[in-house]
Chain A
């Protein structure tokens, strides 16, 4: 009899930010759509296969108007991947999801005329710079992270001078340093940093993760509980070791 050995392989969940085109509609929407058509007429395929986010921040718009607008953009081959700045009540399951934490980037140049050497549409989707040239910011938190609080730092390291409570979470793009007890969750290297590490003075964590690979409390070596520990990634395995 053959038994298939199935190793429980966790699913990788990673956060990543991309560059998308943000469209800001202005009322009256029919006029705005006409101007959009004018722009598209000057450059066929400008919106084709580009990721587009609809920014409705501060717009007085209701759900049926929004749905109509998304449909009308759809007929113009403008596919809306997400909606920014909408009240949660405005969105529902048949509309694109809400986008948050958007950061401004340089404006897209609207095409003046049809370009001969058309760039491959897929290539023109520029992912966010994987190696930022500016120094990555790091954050120091000098009070305990309480249950229910979520400390989210997409770029750089986080240092917590205090404990991270059960039911609290610290999410960082870089490494996480906790000068106290880690009782909640710590997720380091969430934006693709396999070299990120987690350090804590006392390990009582519910969950730890680096670069999308995670380990729950149950899977951690019991003799490391309560110890000063560092956590790093080796290949696809999370390693834990005491700090001398």
Chain B
């Protein structure tokens, strides 16, 4: 049985889709079988970021409504043969997602893949709650600024109350992925620093992705940043995050911060 991960944030534009694609590709580059599911019905983007927009025939809504088989809707990546995409529909809206339909699709995907990554839409409505409903693990994508942090806090509250795991009395495993981190602005104090964000959200840190032109460049050519340039700073951050997701204990380095000997050894541990 594979693991179901929801990539969520509450706020829009913080990097959910970029992170879903980059983490999916990073996991698949290690030979794991990965499917990335776009839950943003009506405003799909994942197909563009993954460079599959010209190969979409059927989508998630078609599968849920029984108009297509799951295998017909899955698109295999051209560069990585263990990476798949289940696109969202652009012409429908989120009312077409039914709880039963989503459950059926996720259960089927869990049997066939090691990782099922659900790219959640922004907001706290139907699309977002259905994307998180069946998750085993949540990745909360946050930018180091107050509105994003507060929205993430709201989402963490929902993860602890509106998911199947929470309703069964279990605790949902949650990780914080801090994206668009700008070392220069953090130094000037224009941005919340890492410790502030960790103190407010009090969930463990999965990684810090620096703000970088590489991310934009990769999106524009339709490639996850971990595939476009594996040696760029954001790609390295995503590769490390993927290793932590698999349970490896890697210390998280703060971009641009010069650390002493002890800092290097002990790294950073979040709540």
Q: Give the B-binding residues of A (Cβ under 8 A).
A: 143-144, 146-149, 162-163, 165-168, 181, 183
Contacts and interface: CB of A to CB of B under 8 A. Distances in A.
A30 B158 CA distance: 45
A153 B146 CA distance: 29
Nearest to A144: B202
Main secondary structure of the interface of B (DSSP, over half): helix
18 contacts: A143-B160, A146-B156, A146-B157, A146-B160, A147-B150, A147-B151, A147-B153, A147-B157, A149-B157, A162-B202, A163-B199, A163-B200, A163-B202, A165-B153, A166-B150, A167-B154, A168-B157, A181-B199
Given A146-B153, A147-B150, A165 B200 contact: yes
Interface residues of B, number: 13
Contacts of A183: 200
Given A146-B160, A148-B153, A167-B153, 4 more contacts: A146-B154, A147-B154, A166-B153, A167-B150
Interface in B123-167: 124, 146, 150-151, 153-154, 156-158, 160
Contacts, number: 36
Interface string B184-208: 0000000000000001101000000
A141 B239 CA distance: 37
Contacts of B200: 163, 165, 181, 183
The 7 closest A-B pairs by CB, nearest first: A146-B157, A147-B153, A147-B154, A148-B154, A165-B153, A149-B157, A146-B153
Contacts of B158: 148
Contacts of B153: 146-148, 165-168
Contacts of B154: 146-148, 167
B135 to A, nearest CB: 17
A29 B194 CA distance: 63
Contacts of A146: 153-154, 156-157, 160
Contacts of B146: 166
A178 to B, nearest CB: 14
Most buried by B among A148, A149, A162, A167: A148
A143 B153 CA distance: 13
Nearest to B159: A146
Nearest to A204: B200
Nearest to A145: B157
Contacts of B151: 147
Contacts of B150: 147, 165-167
A50 to B, nearest CB: 39
A147 B158 CA distance: 10
Contacts of A149: 157
A190 to B, nearest CB: 22
Interface centre among B150, B153, B154, by most chain A C-beta atoms within 10 angstroms, is B153
Nearest to B203: A144
Most chain A CB neighbours (cut-off 10 Å) among B124, B154, B199: B154
B240 to A, nearest CB: 27
Contacts of B202: 144, 162-163
Contacts of A166: 146, 150, 153
A228 to B, nearest CB: 16
A3 to B, nearest CB: 39
